[in-house]
Amino acid sequence: MKSKILGLIGMVLLSSSFILGGCSNEKGDITEVNAVVEEPTEKISDNASNDTIKGDINKKAVLVVSFGTSYNKSREKTIGSVEKKIAEAFADYDQKRAFTSQTIIDKVAARDGEKIDNVTEAMTKLVNDGYGTVVIQPTHVMNGEEYDEMKKLTEPFEKNFVSIKYGKPLLTSSADYADVVNAIAKDTPQLSDKNCAVVFMGHGTAHFANASYSALDYRFKAMGYDNAFVGTVEGYPDFDKIKSDLVKFKPKKVFLIPLMIVAGDHATNDMAGDEEDSWKTQLKKEGYEVECILKGLGEYSDIQNMFVKHCQDAMNEETEEINE
Catalytic site residues? 203
Contact 135, 161 (CB under 8 A): no
d(CA 101, CA 99): 6
The DSSP secondary structure of 265-324, one letter per residue, reads HIIIIIIT-SSTTSHHHHHHHTT-EEEE----GGGSHHHHHHHHHHHHHHHHHHHHHHH-
Q: Which residues, other chains included, contact 155 with Cβ-Cβ below 8 Å and sequence gap of 6+?
A: none
Closest CA to 62 of 126, 115, 146, 145: 126
**Sheet of strand 163-166: strand arrangement:** 94-99, 56-66, 131-138, 163-166
